[in-house]
Structures are given as C-alpha cells and as structure tokens.
Amino acid sequence: MNKRAKIILDFWFIESKPEDWFKKNKKFDNIIKELFINDYEKAIKNEYDEWQDNPNECLALIILLDQFSRNLFRNSSRSFAQDHKSRLIVKEGVDRGYLEKMSLERIHFFLLPLIHSEDISDHKFGHNLVDTYLKKHKKYNEIKKVWNDHSIAIKKFGRYPHRNKLLRRISTSDEENFLKLPDSSW
C-alpha cells in the first residue's frame, strides 16, 4: 500500500477516536491541516488518482477529499469543493467490488460522500448500499437515522440549507425555519 495512504488510514481509524470524526473540533481540524494539507493539495491536482486502483488506497483518497476537506476548510465553501469527485470515486469503487473487501467501519466512510451529495439519486444509491453492507454494523440504527435525516432535507429542499450561506445561495423562508430546528445542520 502507498505509504501516504496508509498514514491517512492509520490516522483516521487507529489514532483518531470516533468522537473526533463528526464533531466540530478546532484542535482536531488543526492536526489534520498540519498532517494532511499537502496530501489534499496533491489529491485535488489528481496526483493521487492511481490510489483508485486499490480498495484501501481508494478509501484513503475518499477520506482525504471528503472528510478531511470538511476539517481543513470548515465554515468555507471549499469544504464541499471535492464532493463531486469523491462521489465519482465511490461509485467507481463500488463497481469494482471494493466494499466486499472492507470492514464495516471502512465501508461506512467509503459511502459517506453519497450522503454529502445534494442529489437525491446519490442518497437512494447510498441507502441501498447501507442496507446491503452495514446491517451488521453495531451502530446501524444510528447510521440509518443520520442518513434518513440528511435525505429528508434533500427531499424537502433539493439541497442542504445549512450550506446556503457558505455557497452564497439565498435561503427560502422554509429553509430559514428549518435551520432553527435542532440537528438541522451537519
């Protein structure tokens, strides 16, 4: 396995804790920036595209483009800049059978770009994969609820309202009301 890909996977799955993954934490964001900003810059220049030819390296690329981007560029439109590429990588990896070769926790992160999408067809595809591959995950019900909550916003608005300000989109009054609800932004 590529040395940098292994470092990314070890950092994410061994050195980090699950509570670090989904909470806003400036210290954790800064650690990711210090360790991985150069990898991110190379990845967006397609210098790591060959990682797509190996399941674990592909997962490292997805984490770099989809997860780390959210840490590196929190509260910036750049945090979503690689979402499209991430989804393409996921779909190609699924077609190649990569999910068959991964642990449940790794599958979970492999699929996350689908739920980050503002395209409902990606959500439907993702839900089917979650049901197929993650039913035995110890947090399946929690994962399913989070995915359902995300999909509700996309079904209702066709986009994530909490991204509107960062992406310079005008929110509708329904979206503004939605954003006042608990757990309306991720």
Q: From the CB of residue 24, how many other CB atoms can be counted at a distance below 10 Å?
A: 11
**pLDDT tens readout for residues 82-135:** 999 999 999 999 999 999 989 999 999 999 999 999 999 999 999 999 999 999
- CA–CA distance, 135 with 130 (Å, rounded to integer): 7
- Whole-angstrom Cα distance, residue 162 to residue 172? 12
pLDDT of 94 reads: 99
- The residues spanned by each domain of the chain are 3-179
Task: State how far the Cα of 35 lies from the Cα of 26, in Å rounded to an integer.
Answer: 14
Flag the least confident range among 11-25, 35-49, 77-91, 119-133: 11-25
Sign of CA dihedral 159, 66, 72, 14: positive
Residue whose structure tokens are 């220049």: 45
SS (H, E, C) 53-121: HCHHHHHHHHHHHHHHHHHHCCCCHHHHCCHHHHHHHHHHHHHCCHHHHCCHHHHHHHHHHHHHCCCHH
pLDDT per residue over 134-161, tens digit each? 999 999 999 999 999 999 999 999 999 9
Structure tokens at 87: 């989804």
Q: pTM for this one?
A: 0.94
On whether the CB atoms of residues 149 and 161 are closer than 8 A, the answer is: no
Q: Look at residue 182 in the predicted model and tell me its pLDDT.
A: 85
CATH of domain 3-179: 1.25.40.10
